[in-house]
Amino acid sequence: MDTTINIGNKTVNRLGFGAMRITGEGIWGEPEDCDEAVAVLKHAVELGVNFIDTADAYGPEISEKLIREALYPYEGLVIATKGGMVRSGPNQWSADGRPDHIREAVEASLKRLGVDSIDLYQFHRPDPAVPFEESLQTFFDLQKEGKVQHVGVSNVTAEQLQQALKMGTVVSVQNNYSILSRDSEDVLKICEANNVVFIPYFPMGGNIGGLQAETLESIATRYGATTRQIGLAWLLQHSPVMLPIPGTSQLAHLEENMRSIEIKLDAADVALLDGLA
């Protein structure tokens, strides 16, 4: 199994870090302990993470600001962020795919992150009020202008991904996906066929108790691992284009997640886990 993966012209380790949970409750406001959030980001890099995923809507703005505080000037790191969502309160999300909004969002993210060009800029979610192609074209325009190095999409259907691939070079897709949530399997297959990196968010089911199944628990016991670690190990072995980004605000969970890359599931266990969905 390869331990690295290419996102466009950038090579990263295959276990990244999702920086959504370093914000406050409901992904709103500052975290309870900003110092620990900064420590988690720094320790992730110490443990080998060199791909950090965030979005302007996380906080909003808080996640990007903490990433700059902890990791700037990002030597050896790939920082991915997203635009196209707005917030009105804790756990409240709305899509905004208007080209003017996306342009305002990218300028704000560039400033918060302290960079002239974003490594990977992702369309956070298609807006039903704006034609998908109109929104996405703005991302490609920003790329031509040098403000974005690579373009990715998120929360897309197979049809939308196919359309995006016709419009320009899409290097990544970020959809909800885990061992027990595989609605995006068709999207994953398109990514494999086109050498597009697939970034599963909620790679462990969305919460600590998300990956619960009798088979999963029995396999975890045999490997001396947690169900979370087995879920991440399965993702890495399930597809060569997979780049999981488990996120946490706690150092202990971070270290637990990172140990999953050391787990090599045998073929029989992979087959059992494949059958859980």
In the beta sheet, which residues pair with residue 12?
A: 5
Q: Distance between CA atoms of 252 and 132, rounded to whole angstroms?
A: 40
Task: Confirm whether 74 is a catalytic residue.
Answer: no
Q: What is the dihedral of CA 87, 88, 93, 94, to 10 degrees?
A: -90
Task: Please say whether the dihedral angle defined by the alpha carbons of residues 181, 187, 190 and 191, taken in this order, is positive or negative.
Answer: negative
Yes or no: say if 14 and 243 are a contact pair by the CB < 8 Å rule.
yes
Counting every residue written for the chain, the total comes to 277
Q: Which residues, in sequence order, are CB contacts of 201 under 8 Å at separation 6+?
A: 18, 20, 154, 174, 175, 176, 177, 245
Known catalytic residues are 58
